[in-house]
Amino acid sequence: APLATPAPETGPGALAVTQERVPTRRRYLMCEPRFFTVEYVINPWMRPDQPVSTERAVEQWTELKRTYERLGHQVETIEPQPGLPDMVFAANSGTVIDGRVLGARFRAEQRSAEAEHYRRWFLEHGYRSVVMPEKINEAEGDFAWTGGLLLAGTGFRTDPGAHAEAQEVLGVPVVSLRLVDPRYYHLDVALFVLDDQSERPLVAYYPEAFSAGSQRVLRRLFPDAVIANDADAECLGLNGVSDGRNVVLPKEATHLAERIAERGFEPVLVDISELRKSGGGPKCCTMELRG
């Protein structure tokens, strides 16, 4: 008997039904920007001549934390340390999958001490498998978990050798992607995962941040990805955090918010203008504790 032809999911003839998106409860680790400043330059966003308000950074961060709590997520915090103004960017200090932790090793000397504070936090909070890397690895700054694959950025910060190390330590398949635009120096300012729970993960990304070969890899892996435009990227709109339904984004990322709403997600816009002066957004402030 002939097989029934399934209705196309996209393109002409697709059913005009948006998928019902289901959130899952998350656990995050965050660090209050109590000592936040911009006093050194390790990415093109950082301009020490520009005024920065630590107080406003704390307000914006507090609002981000409350947003997660309001969405039903659990937020853990780590004590900030004087002299480590970028410690607020928790995503850079560990990659946690199934309760296994791969710590960080920073490229910049100015941030290197952060890794040890986070390592201690993991040990004090019951994590048994905590491995510190040999290769430079800025954790979720350059690693994005799709639920089945670890997408791994390189080009500016994380050493390509750290990709193989992550695969071995975490026991997950790694796909390397090359970043080419210094404004998008970490993978998490060029791509984020919208849905990590289904067979077919969904991501949003800004193609121009990647090498030609990596763009082809992304098209092959994620043919139905949400494609961000220049304006989305320039406000660090790709630094989003999704729970599978609610997607926390910088408030300026209006084009991206519309595109993801069309796919059935709920954009939740936040103000991160102060943290952006250091080159960070919502995701940078948020390490996900998986398992």
| Residue 105 near ligand ARG by CB under 6 A | no
Is residue 186 among the annotated active site residues? yes
Instruction: Please answer whether residues 108 and 158 qualify as being in contact, where contact means their C-beta atoms are separated by less than 8 angstroms.
Output: no
Beta bridge partners of 77: 30
In angstroms, what CA-CA distances link 223 with 74, 214, 283? Answer: 33, 13, 24
Find the binding residues for ligand ARG in span 177-236 (CB under 6 A).
Answer: 186, 188-189
- Phi then psi for residue 250, to 5 deg, are -60, 140
Residue 172 CA neighbour count, 13 Å, CB half: 24
Nearest CB to ligand ARG, comparing residues 21 and 186: 186
Per-residue x/- track, 31-60, ligand ARG (CB under 6 A): -----------xx--x--------------
CB of 43 to ligand ARG, least distance (A): 4
Measured from the CB atom, the residue of 91 and 97 that comes closer to ligand ARG is 91
Q: Give yes or no for residue 91 binding ligand ARG (CB under 6 A).
A: yes
SS3 17: coil
Residues 6+ apart with CB under 8 A from 86: 92, 110, 111, 114, 278, 280
Nearest distance, CB of residue 274 and ligand ARG, angstroms:
12
Interface with ligand ARG includes 246 (CB under 6 A)? Answer: no
Residue of 73, 186, 235, 285 marked catalytic: 186
Count Cα neighbours of 171 within 13 Å in the Cβ-side half-sphere. 7
For ligand ARG, the binding residues (CB under 6 A) are 42-43, 46, 86, 89, 91-92, 111, 141, 186, 188-189, 278-280, 284
Catalytic residues: 186, 284
